[in-house]
A = this chain, B = another copy of it.
Amino acid sequence: MRYTLGCSLSYEILSDTLFIFNLEVARLKSLRIISESLVLSPDPARRTYVAPDVRNRYLGVNVPAGAFSLEYAAEVDLTVTRADPETIGETPVAELPLDILPFLLPSRFVSSDRLTPFAQAEFGDLPQGHRRVNAICNWIHDHIAYVRGASDEETTADETLLARAGVCRDFAHLGTAFCRALGIPARFVSCYAYGLVPCDFHAVFEAYLDGRWWLFDATRQANLDGLVRIGVGRDAAEIAFSTPYGAMKPTGMEIRIDRADGQAETGPRTVDAISTEEPAPHAGAA
């Protein structure tokens, strides 16, 4: 499916500020970039970095004091892989590729070690596979309220569980934490989400099942086959759309994604088995 997408960000820079942006779509085989533009004003020297393993694209710019704006636009063709959720089992830990194992470890906002008793008690005996991760999403959707302002940038998965409220970032952290606590590799995903209302950067997560990464969205707000990936990481810290070092304040933000053919979308496809990354030969695969 073809999408046109992008974002407009503006800032008032109070003193020289380094920005690390991660808002361009990821460099994936399944995500063909038909056209793309990134306009900065002013336009400082750009440094770029594509993470070799997960293919996130980082942009670093040092911006002087004054007004600063960023305009990103892309047209992409996204190919998704579908499967029958019932047929997708879990990969035994003993068979996981070694380079996948870091996604079993706890990270700053994904306190999976603290949540292990909770995850084992609630989900330990459920049928394994895509169904189990979907059950986790259902549980989160039923128990956590989507409330803007309920959390901040230091909120961890265990805090969300107690607060019973959060935003997409928190839903994704909690889903990721429950998976890791059960021995299922999981990672945080930032994306443009077709159909999300209101449109915004979205956060979901992926679980590694039967040899590939599958998408899950515990907020149930977006169709899984309309998620255009920006980045994946251990948790939100690694793939913030904007990480500023310096004094500045945001003055505007707009995110866009539409179908390139202008057709309206039908849904929902929030519980389907959807993958956007081809299984690669893994280092240390079993």
Whether, in the assembled complex, A7 has its beta carbon less than 8 Å from a beta carbon of chain B, the answer is no
Instruction: Say whether, besides A98-B58, A245-B93, A49 and B162 are in contact (CB < 8 Å).
Output: no
Shortest Cβ distance from A240 into B: residue: B105
> Of A111-119, A131-139, A269-277, which binds chain B?
A111-119
Question: Given the complex, which residues of B lie within 8 Å of A237, measured CB to CB?
Answer: 105-106
A284 located at the interface, meaning its Cβ lies under 8 Å from any Cβ of chain B in the complex: yes
Partner of A284, one of B58, B114, B183: B58
Q: Is A259 an interface position by the 8 A CB rule?
A: no
A121 at the interface (CB under 8 A from B): yes
Contact for A47 among B20, B58, B98, B113, CB less than 8 A: B98
**A117 and B49 within 8 A (CB):** no
Question: What's the interface size class on A, roughly?
Answer: 35 or more
| Oligomeric state, in copies | 4
Say yes or no: B284 contacts A165, CB within 8 Å. no
A97 to B105, CA, bound (A): 26
Q: How far is the CA of A164 from the CA of B120 in the complex (A)?
A: 10
Contacts of A58 in B (CB 8 A): 98, 101, 284
A108 at the interface (CB under 8 A from B): yes
Measured between beta carbons, the chain B residues less than 8 angstroms from A60 are: 98, 101, 284, 286
29 A-B interface contacts by CB (under 8 A): A16-B94, A18-B94, A20-B98, A47-B285, A48-B284, A49-B98, A49-B283, A50-B283, A51-B99, A58-B101, A60-B286, A101-B243, A105-B238, A106-B108, A108-B108, A108-B110, A108-B111, A113-B153, A113-B154, A114-B154, A117-B162, A117-B164, A117-B165, A118-B162, A121-B164, A158-B162, A161-B162, A162-B162, A183-B245
Q: A58-B98, A60-B286, A62-B94 are in contact. List 5 more A-B contacts (CB 8 A).
A: A48-B98, A105-B108, A117-B164, A120-B164, A121-B164
